[in-house]
Amino acid sequence: MLLDPRALLLFAANALLLYLMLLVNSALAGWSIYLFLLGPMVVLPALYLRHQSYFICTFVSGLWVDAALPGPFGLFTTGFLLAGAFIFMLRIRFRAEHNYHPILITHILNLFYLGLLTLFVGLSQWSSPVFWMQVLTTSLVSHLALLIVAPWFFQLERALFVLFHLDSEPEDYPIL
């Protein structure tokens, strides 16, 4: 099969997370507090799917995020593909059926994406202390929110697998 049906469910969950993040950001805009929750979007596709399905899911999710968030077009698509490829290569080392490793990877990826956005968008504002205060505040609030959102998001994706009677085990793991 060209595309694993789980890739469509993971993309739909990614779109839901992005929509909810943007909804909360619009409500918090008056206080200049923003959530940046892109870390969970790449973890389970890279851990669960075969290479072709993972690539399509991650690529389309990256395009979706690039269209919704400010920044150079292709920044998040490239970041998603690079981070996803790194996780895909090392996925034998992670326990995908529990939440500990995916949550840890999520925090690392979220910090990577925030650094990527800071590097490419805020290069002209690096000398401003207000800019660094905003980056620090966004990072802190986002990582605190990820402590609640990431387990919920991963359980939602796994529940969608069960609800649609799809295989809830990762693909291509060697049998030990």
5-49 pLDDT, tens per residue? 999 999 999 999 999 999 999 999 999 999 999 999 999 999 888
pTM above 0.85, yes or no: yes
143-168 pLDDT, tens per residue? 999 999 999 999 999 999 999 988 87
Phi, psi for 35 (deg, rounded to 5): -100, 145
Residue 176: what pLDDT?
Answer: 44
Residue 7, judged by CB atoms within 10 A of its CB (0-12, 13-18, 19+), counts as buried
